[in-house]
Each structure stands twice: as C-alpha cells, then as structure tokens.
Chains A and B, each alone.
Chain A
C-alpha cells in the first residue's frame, strides 16, 4: 500500500500551512507561509485571496518535496480554515471581485444593526444560532453586494460565486463549489435544523441563492485535486475551532475542548440535536461525517486571556517574556486577595455587557507583583469556569475532562489553576496541532484510511494531565470573590458614544 499519509491544509488568519500526518496521527512534514494583512481603514481587515491561494500551492509543494513524498502517497487532503472570512469571485475567470473581508473586520457594524431592525440582534438566532454581529459572513456578503460596482446585478445573473476560505480552496483544488456544515453555520445564512440555506434569512439580507455553494458534510470526497496533489481526493472541510474539537477527539456529548491563545475558544459537543443557549453561548455545528447525523456544539469565546499576559508584559513591564508570568506567580502562594477582570472591551459570554470595563479589585498594601501575576492567570481560569458553567446549564451533562491546546498550555501553573477552579481533569494531548489533525482525521475517515472514530481515539495520547487539588471551600470562596469583582466592572461606560 503506497498511500501512507494524509495532508491537511490550514488556511489561517495570518498564514497558510500544510501538514502531512502518518497513520498514527504523527506529524511527518510541515510547511507554512504568511500572507499580508491589509488594513484599508481603521477597523477594516482584508486578505488577498489570490495571494492566499498562491501560498497554499507553495506549502503543498514544499511539504511534499521536503520529505520526497509524491502525491500518490497521499490518501486524502483535508481543509481547515479561518472562519467567516468572506470572498466573492467571478465564476468564469476565477478572479476575486474584491479582497476577502476578514472575520475581525468591523465595517458591518451599522449594517448588522440595521438588519436587526426592531427585533434586534437576535432576529435570526432561532434559525441560525447566531446573533447579528460583525464577525459573521452574511452581512459581509451584503456589504460587498452593496459596495462593489455592479456586483448586485452580476450576482442576480449568477455570474459570481460566494465562499468562505474552505470553499475558495476547494474550488481552486477541484473546481467544485461546495462548503461544509461547520463553515456554513458561521455565515448566519444556514438553517440549523435543515442544514440548508434558509430562504427567509436570504430574503431578509437580500442574498441571491444562486451564488451560494452547495452545503455538504464535513467528511466526504468533494472532488479530486489538480496541481501538486493531482488525483488526491479532497475529502474534508472544517472551520478551525470545529477541526480542533474533532482533532481533540471530542466525539461524545459533554466533551469540551479549549484553545488557549491571545483569546480562548471553548467548544462543547452537545450531540445530534441543536441546543439553544439561554446563557449567551453560540449554537453551532460540531461536525458531520458523511451521511451520519450532524453533531452540534455550543461555543463560548473569551476575548482576553493570553493578551492579558501580554498586557502585563508590554503595558506594565512586570515581566519581560510571557512565560515568566509563571515564574512570577510562583513567588507567592495565592492571589493575596487581588482579582483582575480583563473586561477591556466589555464582557463577552456569558455576560454580554458592553458597558463593562476592566478592574483590579481587592488591593491592599500587602499585594505585590507576584499576587498580580497570579490574579492574571486566575482570570483566564475563572472566565473559563463561567463559560463552562453556562454550557452545563444549557446542555446538562456529566462533567468530564477539559481537553486543552494552544500556546498558553505551556504554562503548568495556569493548567493546575484551571483544573482547580473547574474541579475537573485538564488534559493536554501530545500533538499540539489539533486543528490540522482534525481536518486530516475527517479526510482520512472519508476515504477509509482510518476505519472509524474509535481508531482515532486510540491515536490520541495525553502529553500531560492536571487534577484538581483545591479544597472545595476555597474554590467556592474564590468563585464568590471573582463574581464580586465581575460586578464591579459593570456600568462603567455610561453612554455608548458615537453613531
């Protein structure tokens, strides 16, 4: 058998990568290229989709050549991608009509509010699981139709195609115009129950159905690749957070993964029925394997976690590198009564209070920089606790383990605090590249390279594990204090300025 590897293409916000995995899920080869971030105006962020495609071609070629691997040794290729980033291109020439509008871009702020009308930001929430916000693709597409000369008419005539980055890459690789349920679930345009484009939302946003890709499962052969991977089945697509959930083998309802970077993304598998959140979480797709029922998920994001450590380094100068936070925090036994709530731009899930601003509470003459460092780490843990509590309130399940990945997992003290405040095991898997691994797994399953998800579970190995060591009375007292500190952030901004 000559097909030894599965390729994963990770089209991310700052770079594109290609990683080749072997049958045991181990990394065999990696290549990566960064692309430009284009900032035409404050708050606007764009990517050049042609530059991204050129980079994808390079990383595919390099990852093969580095290890003398030929396309016939690749069983399948999977795609994972930055979510929500929106592109429209010409059906005939393949040329983008405009730069891609990136998920962080806030140009649709006014448009999103306008679309909400009297119903407000939850106008489409029961249908698509999402509030009207600048992140999601639907309003970005509407903006392009309104602002690119003649685009609205060309769209009506079916001369252009819309896609998120998965769709763009698959179209370039195979010529097919498809997306998967997880990426479609971030557009606001897909109905969560039918997993098809929702005619009412399309109508309300004025989007012609003819330009939308076909919605497929996350794991099936969409077509055969051309170019450097000629003949290889293109067999999976998953948005990055969904791919991480899959790569962490969170296959059972109640399984939660947390990706700890500058911000944190928590996603919980909720099984085969969508759960509407009463607690400010987003309802989204987990993944869908071929003809099997779709698996749904709840998502809660925390805006400021690793970036609070960077703030301590860059704005306060208390540490000179981010990892030193652990050294500093270990100079003391506890937080000394100090709590930091980093509501730098308001509080997100589960509070959703834009009038909140950050506080450092409980200061006394006793508090030193070690206590502050500890409070910074604890802030990440308590924010996680709030989201996990909201998840458990929406979809009650047996508490299991939290599977973590991302750069902050190098901080052992943080991982211990996380386990202490959640009162569950925290586990870091051996392959840190869970996003790419998830895409590779889904592609490998589609072509029979791996027979079933049970095989994937066997590949998953713990690199480290932390178990709770905190006394429950201490945990309750600390949570109580954290909540008090959170209350002190509220009502800080007294009027929404501007617009």
Chain B
C-alpha cells in the first residue's frame, strides 16, 4: 500500500488556513503557522496558484483562495431550478415513452425525486415529488453512483454479516445487495452511459435512466422512466432499446439546456 504524500498534506493544510483568513495571509504568516520553511510554502503556493486554487493579491502580496476552489463548492444545483429547466423535456419523454417520468438528484445517501410526470393514461396517480428512493435499487440511483463520486449507498447495519462484510438493503429477491456486484454494475453503467434495473425495487417494475450534466460536465441528476416489466423488458431479458433511446434523448436535451456541450 502506497504511503501518504507529504506535499499534498501540506497543500491541504495551506488551503485550510487560507479558507479561515478573511483578508488573505502573507507568505510569512503561512510558513509560521504551519511551521514550514518559507521556500517549501512558496513552492506549494505557486503550484496551487497555477491550478487556480489560490490567488495572490497583486497589491498586498497576500494569498487567498482562488476561483477554482470556489467553483468546486458550487456543484449544487437547486432541484426546483432543475425541474423548471427540464419541464418540457420530461413531458415529451412521458408522451413518447408512454411511461411515468422522474428526475432525481443526490440527497445524502438517497435519490431525491425533484420532478414527476404521470404516465399518460387515465389511471389515478399520485405526485411523489419529494420522495426518497434507494440509490442501489433504482436506475436513477445507479446513474448517480456511476457518475457522481459523492453518491454511495447506505449500508444496512441489520444485514451486516458476522465477518464484518456489509450488505445493502434488499427490497425484492432481485435487489443487488453485494457491494462488489453493485460495483460491477456501475462499471457497465459508465461504459453504456445509462442504467436500468428490473424488479430490484418493486416486483413487476423496470426503470431506465440516463445522466443530466451541467456545463462543467458534472452529473447533477438523472432522468428516467419507470413502468411495467412487460412493456420495458424485451424477451431476451434486455431493456427495450427504443425506450432507452427516448430516455437518453431527454437526458441530452436537458443537459444541453443546462449548458453541457456534447463531444
């Protein structure tokens, strides 16, 4: 196992003290408070400046956090804004697919439903905006886990094995509960650019989802359809690829509206 890298630890310590100083800090202050030789501190500061994480005030010469650091913290996109931007595309996905549509974002260890469009038929349906769904048993959750490094499922303490291995909560006999198996699924999601699950959350239901990306390419949510297994799964046990293409089209359209540029 590789050891820890001292210069990265020092860089982190510098960023941390810069975050506390309102008016910026001088090189002397930084090197004194971290007990670092001035030359070492300067090298680290210049490197951080080069990648945009630190800025130096041209007049006072003091250092402070740079714009690159601040934009790291603003990855959060308001769910209500996402719904507003996605409204027409979600409607058109529901109308093309004939299924209900949901848009979800990451909320702690779960999927937060921020938008829901009813299945276009005469049946009675209830809006479930605000509901929380498990990451590991939904297509939206699998997309978020595959593309958002912060998305990790909650492990079920009740399902922990005696040897300490943890398992994920099971909802049906199809739910993937082994973290290793889930990780293999996520690799596939990353390869395909979309996810699906069959009867992992509810017996008889399939969901398909694709990532919504913002202008920095960050995955800010996922959009998908959910419906009966007879309609969304083909004979061979694969998802209906026409439905997959509708979902991906909608995800791309919303991403484009958020400023994401396809390559």
Residues of A near any B CB (own CB < 8 A): 24, 26-27, 321-327, 407, 409-412, 430-432, 461-466
Once A322-B84, A410-B83 are accepted as A-B contacts, the answer to whether A430 and B116 lie under 8 Å apart by CB is no
Known: A26-B96, A431-B91, A461-B120. 4 other contacts (CB 8 A): A27-B92, A325-B80, A411-B80, A465-B127
Please tell me if the beta carbons of A430 and B94 are within 8 angstroms of each other in the complex: yes
Residues from chain B with Cβ under 8 Å of A461 in the complex: 95, 118, 120-121
B208, chain A: closest CB distance, angstroms:
19
Looking across the interface, which residue of chain B has its beta carbon closest to that of A461? Answer: B120
Of the residues A322, A410, A464, contact of B116 by C-beta under 8 Å: A464
Q: Can you identify 10 A-B contacts, CB atoms within 8 angstroms?
A: A26-B95, A323-B81, A323-B84, A410-B83, A430-B94, A430-B118, A430-B120, A461-B120, A464-B117, A464-B118
Please tell me if the beta carbons of B80 and A326 are within 8 angstroms of each other in the complex: yes
Once A27-B92, A410-B83 are accepted as A-B contacts, the answer to whether A465 and B118 lie under 8 Å apart by CB is yes
Q: How far is the CA of A430 from the CA of B94 in the complex (A)?
A: 8
Q: How far is the CA of A430 from the CA of B120 in the complex (A)?
A: 8
Q: How far is the CA of A327 from the CA of B114 in the complex (A)?
A: 11
Of the residues B84, B88, B127, contact of A464 by C-beta under 8 Å: B127
Contact residues, B75-112 vs A (CB, 8 A): 78-81, 83-84, 87-88, 91-92, 94-96
User: Could you mark each residue 118-144 of chain B with 1 if its beta carbon is under 8 Å from any beta carbon of chain A, else 0?
Assistant: 101100010101000000000000000
Looking across the interface, which residue of chain B has its beta carbon closest to that of A465? Answer: B127
Residues from chain B with Cβ under 8 Å of A325 in the complex: 80
Q: Which of B79, B94, B127 has the most CB of A within 10 A?
A: B127
Residues of B near any A CB (own CB < 8 A): 78-81, 83-84, 87-88, 91-92, 94-96, 116-118, 120-121, 125, 127, 129
Q: How far is the CA of A463 from the CA of B119 in the complex (A)?
A: 7
Please tell me if the beta carbons of A463 and B94 are within 8 angstroms of each other in the complex: yes
Q: How far is the CA of A411 from the CA of B118 in the complex (A)?
A: 16
Of the residues A407, A431, A465, A466, contact of B95 by C-beta under 8 Å: A431
Looking across the interface, which residue of chain A has its beta carbon closest to that of B118? Answer: A462
Once A464-B116, A466-B127 are accepted as A-B contacts, the answer to whether A432 and B87 lie under 8 Å apart by CB is yes
Q: How far is the CA of A62 from the CA of B116 in the complex (A)?
A: 32
Q: What DSSP secondary structure best describes chain B's contact surface?
A: helix
Looking across the interface, which residue of chain A has its beta carbon closest to that of B126? Answer: A465
Q: How far is the CA of A464 from the CA of B128 in the complex (A)?
A: 10
Please tell me if the beta carbons of B88 and A321 are within 8 angstroms of each other in the complex: no
A276, chain B: closest CB distance, angstroms:
37
B227, chain A: closest CB distance, angstroms:
15
Residues from chain A with Cβ under 8 Å of B96 in the complex: 26
Residues from chain B with Cβ under 8 Å of A24 in the complex: 95
Looking across the interface, which residue of chain B has its beta carbon closest to that of A459? Answer: B120
Residues from chain B with Cβ under 8 Å of A322 in the complex: 84
Of the residues A26, A409, A412, contact of B129 by C-beta under 8 Å: A412
Residues from chain B with Cβ under 8 Å of A324 in the complex: 78, 80-81
Residues from chain A with Cβ under 8 Å of B120 in the complex: 430, 461
Residues from chain B with Cβ under 8 Å of A26 in the complex: 92, 95-96
Q: How far is the CA of A26 from the CA of B120 in the complex (A)?
A: 11
Q: How far is the CA of A266 from the CA of B227 in the complex (A)?
A: 35
A30, chain B: closest CB distance, angstroms:
10
Please tell me if the beta carbons of B83 and A323 are within 8 angstroms of each other in the complex: yes
Please tell me if the beta carbons of A323 and B91 are within 8 angstroms of each other in the complex: no
Please tell me if the beta carbons of A430 and B81 are within 8 angstroms of each other in the complex: no
Please tell me if the beta carbons of B116 and A323 are within 8 angstroms of each other in the complex: no
A13, chain B: closest CB distance, angstroms:
20
Residues from chain B with Cβ under 8 Å of A407 in the complex: 84
A321, chain B: closest CB distance, angstroms:
6
Q: Which of A321, A325, A410 has the most CB of B within 10 A?
A: A410
Please tell me if the beta carbons of A327 and B95 are within 8 angstroms of each other in the complex: no
Looking across the interface, which residue of chain B has its beta carbon closest to that of A433? Answer: B88
Please tell me if the beta carbons of B88 and A432 are within 8 angstroms of each other in the complex: yes
B238, chain A: closest CB distance, angstroms:
27
Residues from chain B with Cβ under 8 Å of A411 in the complex: 80, 84
B250, chain A: closest CB distance, angstroms:
13
Residues from chain A with Cβ under 8 Å of B88 in the complex: 432
Looking across the interface, which residue of chain A has its beta carbon closest to that of B83? Answer: A410
Q: How far is the CA of A280 from the CA of B83 in the complex (A)?
A: 36
Residues from chain B with Cβ under 8 Å of A409 in the complex: 87
Please tell me if the beta carbons of B118 and A410 are within 8 angstroms of each other in the complex: no
A11, chain B: closest CB distance, angstroms:
21
Q: How far is the CA of A321 from the CA of B78 in the complex (A)?
A: 10
Please tell me if the beta carbons of B91 and A463 are within 8 angstroms of each other in the complex: yes
Of the residues B78, B95, B127, B129, contact of A323 by C-beta under 8 Å: B78
Once A410-B87, A431-B95, A463-B91 are accepted as A-B contacts, the answer to whether A321 and B81 lie under 8 Å apart by CB is yes
Residues from chain B with Cβ under 8 Å of A410 in the complex: 80, 83-84, 87
Q: How far is the CA of A430 from the CA of B117 in the complex (A)?
A: 8
Residues from chain A with Cβ under 8 Å of B87 in the complex: 409-410, 432
Q: How far is the CA of A107 from the CA of B98 in the complex (A)?
A: 50
Residues from chain A with Cβ under 8 Å of B81 in the complex: 321, 323-324
Looking across the interface, which residue of chain B has its beta carbon closest to that of A429? Answer: B91
B85, chain A: closest CB distance, angstroms:
8
Once A461-B118, A464-B127, A466-B127 are accepted as A-B contacts, the answer to whether A430 and B95 lie under 8 Å apart by CB is yes
Residues from chain B with Cβ under 8 Å of A321 in the complex: 78, 81
Residues from chain B with Cβ under 8 Å of A431 in the complex: 91, 95
Closest 3 CB pairs of A and B: A461-B120, A410-B84, A323-B81
Q: How far is the CA of A356 from the CA of B129 in the complex (A)?
A: 38
B116, chain A: closest CB distance, angstroms:
7
Residues from chain B with Cβ under 8 Å of A465 in the complex: 118, 125, 127
Q: How far is the CA of A185 from the CA of B87 in the complex (A)?
A: 33
Looking across the interface, which residue of chain A has its beta carbon closest to that of B130? Answer: A412
A15, chain B: closest CB distance, angstroms:
16
Q: Which of A324, A327, A462 has the most CB of B within 10 A?
A: A462
Looking across the interface, which residue of chain A has its beta carbon closest to that of B123? Answer: A462
Please tell me if the beta carbons of B117 and A463 are within 8 angstroms of each other in the complex: yes
Residues from chain A with Cβ under 8 Å of B79 in the complex: 327
Q: How far is the CA of A327 from the CA of B112 in the complex (A)?
A: 14
Looking across the interface, which residue of chain B has its beta carbon closest to that of A466? Answer: B127
Looking across the interface, which residue of chain A has its beta carbon closest to that of B86? Answer: A410
Q: How far is the CA of A410 from the CA of B87 in the complex (A)?
A: 7
B226, chain A: closest CB distance, angstroms:
15
Q: How far is the CA of A463 from the CA of B118 in the complex (A)?
A: 5
